[in-house]
A and B are shown apart, each in its own frame.
Chain A
């Protein structure tokens, strides 16, 4: 088992390097001169050129890239923000816990709603409850979360004045943003749970379980759910990653000081080091989440556990709407 984990971590390294290359290239071709951005439009041309030399911006692509990687690996230095002049690492470290909290809470909400809803839907297939749940889930998946955030603000903050529309200072501030991201998560998990349960309930071993004299509730909760949950774990993990992505827009809407808002603001302000560092950081976090999910999956399914598989575990991306 440990060999498998080690293997996966080793495989992550080239991927992350690739991400850094992609990110670096994108910034390289992005419009705008970093030196000009820092000094502003009023600065003289000589000053800009001097700064360019100082920052090493006239070096070749390869040289700049290697320098970039070296800085990250040896000093953990992701660069310096053009605007605040603080280290990118510090900027990210400040905001990371907020985003993580938001993403985790959304996934918890989504799971607590999604799994029971999916189970009920599957066991009462074709009933009114099932159809209702399916339509609600589809609406949840179809709703753009930035719009949902705005609508929630209009109703709950502006008209009813029950909940705050911005900031992240305490539990009451969490409610609207978590609902915003969480509905999409709940919808996806409901659909996934339903389809997974339906497939499992069809299996022969469920009939065997019934033929032993088990109560129907035991058949569903113990025999069916244990099997159905395995692919669902993967989806939950993916939703956590998606939560990171969804947080980007939600944080902007609710003015939450997290990484998402940092990204959006930095892109608008052409603060490229922050964008670079942020994307890389999110990619690393995402990769670790995926790794964790894969390991969990291997533990949950005894068939895989007993053969720490060489194959990559197929993730069910069919219902995953990013």
Chain B
């Protein structure tokens, strides 16, 4: 009996070691990809910027100074000021908080709802699958920009509503990804084996199926944060979602629109920031995809 237990422990340790070395291998593969590392560093910097915004930004984001409005970039104002005399550089730094918040929460909503729907649909199949996928089809029938805009219009302005609107817009995507992964894993024999020895359904989904379906989901989620930030910016650009004076990058673009003839800097900097953020997120996501499954090597 003790012999069995000892062997059991031995196996457990071997498995743990393998998992650790698997993780190490993935990290190694990722670190070889210079562009992906660049993306990751930028994102980390962005997160730091968001957390320590009050310490980094030279001015507050709503500090108006009408005597110094619409000034081009100078040493005092690295990115110039907007039409209310607010420092654009500081607003962009504070804006990172909003964008990252929306990005992660919206994707969180999408993954949670979409992922649950997708795994249910795939695991139980049949009628449940049909109903859920029809519902997803309905959401998919509307181009996602339009969907987010419509939901935001229906819910009204505000940060929370913007997050919900963008989040719901991403649900169909994650539902499909998770459903596809679960369907593939479901067919494999070890699931049948687990069922044979009596593992309960929810345990099968949580412990056996989901870990294997993680990889595509993680990649999609990373790229999804990028999409969410874009969608949120689009929403504020139209005037839905975030309201002034909150310095969301898209809102800054919208506000600066009327001044592009004479003051190009008001729209340029927020736009470049958005692009750079999305670019880095995409690099990171691509790198993750390549590292998690080398067979998918581009």
Direct contact of A and B (CB under 8 A): yes
Interface residues of chain A, those whose CB is within 8 Å of chain B, are 14-16, 18-19, 22-23, 26-27, 29-31, 138-139, 141-144, 146-147, 150-151, 153-154, 158, 194-195, 198, 241-242, 244-246, 248-249, 252-253, 263-264, 267-268, 275, 279, 282-283, 286-287, 314, 317-318, 321-322
- Kindly state whether residue B190 has any CB partner on chain A within 8 Å: no
Instruction: Kindly provide the distance from the CB of A204 to the nearest chain B CB, expressed in whole angstroms.
Output: 16
Which stretch of B47-55, B63-71, B80-88, B132-140 is in the interface? Answer: B132-140
Q: Is B142 touching A286 in the complex (CB atoms < 8 A)?
A: yes
Q: Which of chain B's residues have a CB closer than 8 A to the CB of A322?
A: 143-145, 227, 231
A-B contact pairs, 6 of them (CB 8 A): A22-B138, A138-B286, A245-B145, A249-B238, A317-B177, A322-B145
Q: Which of chain A's residues have a CB closer than 8 A to the CB of B23?
A: none
Q: Which of chain B's residues have a CB closer than 8 A to the CB of A317?
A: 173, 176-177
Q: Which of chain A's residues have a CB closer than 8 A to the CB of B141?
A: 15-16, 18-19, 283, 286-287
Q: Is B283 touching A138 in the complex (CB atoms < 8 A)?
A: yes
Q: Is B144 touching A245 in the complex (CB atoms < 8 A)?
A: yes
Q: Is B275 touching A144 in the complex (CB atoms < 8 A)?
A: yes
Instruction: Kindly provide the distance from the CB of A183 to the nearest chain B CB, expressed in whole angstroms.
Output: 12
* A31–B210 alpha-carbon span in the complex (Å): 40
Task: Select which of B143, B151, B267, B282 is within 8 A of A242 by beta carbon.
Answer: B143
Task: Select which of A19, A23, A248 is within 8 A of B145 by beta carbon.
Answer: A248
- Minimal Cβ-Cβ distance residue in A for B224: A321
Known: A147-B271, A147-B274, A267-B238. 10 other contacts (CB 8 A): A31-B156, A138-B282, A144-B234, A144-B271, A154-B264, A245-B145, A245-B146, A246-B145, A249-B145, A275-B153
- Kindly state whether residue B154 has any CB partner on chain A within 8 Å: yes
Q: Which of chain A's residues have a CB closer than 8 A to the CB of B134?
A: 14-15, 18
Task: Select which of B155, B233, B239 is within 8 A of A144 by beta carbon.
Answer: B233
Interface of B is mostly: helix
> Nearest 6 CB-CB pairs, A to B?
A245-B143, A147-B271, A18-B138, A26-B154, A142-B278, A245-B145
* A127–B151 alpha-carbon span in the complex (Å): 45
Task: Select which of B143, B240, B298 is within 8 A of A267 by beta carbon.
Answer: B240
- Minimal Cβ-Cβ distance residue in A for B170: A322
Interface residues of chain B, those whose CB is within 8 Å of chain A, are 134-135, 137-139, 141-146, 149-151, 153-156, 173, 176-177, 180, 220, 223, 226-227, 230-231, 233-234, 237-240, 250, 253, 257, 260-261, 264, 267-268, 270-271, 274-276, 278-279, 282-283, 286, 298
* A263–B139 alpha-carbon span in the complex (Å): 18
* A160–B155 alpha-carbon span in the complex (Å): 42
Instruction: Kindly provide the distance from the CB of A264 to the nearest chain B CB, expressed in whole angstroms.
Output: 6
Q: Which of chain A's residues have a CB closer than 8 A to the CB of B274?
A: 144, 147
* A304–B114 alpha-carbon span in the complex (Å): 29
Q: Is A241 touching B143 in the complex (CB atoms < 8 A)?
A: yes
- Minimal Cβ-Cβ distance residue in B for A268: B239
A150-B253, A150-B271 are contacts. A27–B144 as well, Cβ < 8 Å? no
Q: Which of chain A's residues have a CB closer than 8 A to the CB of B231?
A: 322
- Minimal Cβ-Cβ distance residue in A for B272: A147
Q: Which of chain A's residues have a CB closer than 8 A to the CB of B139?
A: 22
Q: Is A282 touching B143 in the complex (CB atoms < 8 A)?
A: yes
- Minimal Cβ-Cβ distance residue in A for B267: A150
Instruction: Kindly provide the distance from the CB of A114 to the nearest chain B CB, expressed in whole angstroms.
Output: 16
Q: Is A15 touching B271 in the complex (CB atoms < 8 A)?
A: no
Q: Which of chain A's residues have a CB closer than 8 A to the CB of B177?
A: 317
Q: Is B145 touching A147 in the complex (CB atoms < 8 A)?
A: no
Instruction: Kindly provide the distance from the CB of B99 to the nearest chain A CB, expressed in whole angstroms.
Output: 12
Q: Is B275 touching A147 in the complex (CB atoms < 8 A)?
A: yes
Instruction: Kindly provide the distance from the CB of B215 to the nearest chain A CB, expressed in whole angstroms.
Output: 12
* A322–B110 alpha-carbon span in the complex (Å): 15
Instruction: Kindly provide the distance from the CB of B290 to the nearest chain A CB, expressed in whole angstroms.
Output: 11
Task: Select which of A15, A143, A321 is within 8 A of B275 by beta carbon.
Answer: A143
Q: Which of chain A's residues have a CB closer than 8 A to the CB of B260?
A: 150, 153-154, 158
Q: Is A147 touching B267 in the complex (CB atoms < 8 A)?
A: yes
* A143–B238 alpha-carbon span in the complex (Å): 17
* A279–B138 alpha-carbon span in the complex (Å): 12
* A318–B215 alpha-carbon span in the complex (Å): 13
Instruction: Kindly provide the distance from the CB of A174 to the nearest chain B CB, expressed in whole angstroms.
Output: 21
Task: Select which of B146, B253, B275 is within 8 A of A279 by beta carbon.
Answer: B146
Instruction: Kindly provide the distance from the CB of A37 to the nearest chain B CB, expressed in whole angstroms.
Output: 13
* A30–B282 alpha-carbon span in the complex (Å): 35
* A314–B234 alpha-carbon span in the complex (Å): 29
Q: Which of chain B's residues have a CB closer than 8 A to the CB of A23?
A: 150
* A244–B142 alpha-carbon span in the complex (Å): 10
Q: Which of chain B's residues have a CB closer than 8 A to the CB of A154?
A: 260, 264, 267-268
* A321–B240 alpha-carbon span in the complex (Å): 21
* A15–B172 alpha-carbon span in the complex (Å): 14
* A179–B229 alpha-carbon span in the complex (Å): 22
* A31–B153 alpha-carbon span in the complex (Å): 9
Q: Which of chain B's residues have a CB closer than 8 A to the CB of A253?
A: 257
A142-B275, A144-B234, A195-B298 are contacts. A267–B142 as well, Cβ < 8 Å? no
A198-B298, A248-B145, A286-B142 are contacts. A139–B275 as well, Cβ < 8 Å? yes
* A241–B142 alpha-carbon span in the complex (Å): 9
* A263–B154 alpha-carbon span in the complex (Å): 13
* A30–B157 alpha-carbon span in the complex (Å): 11
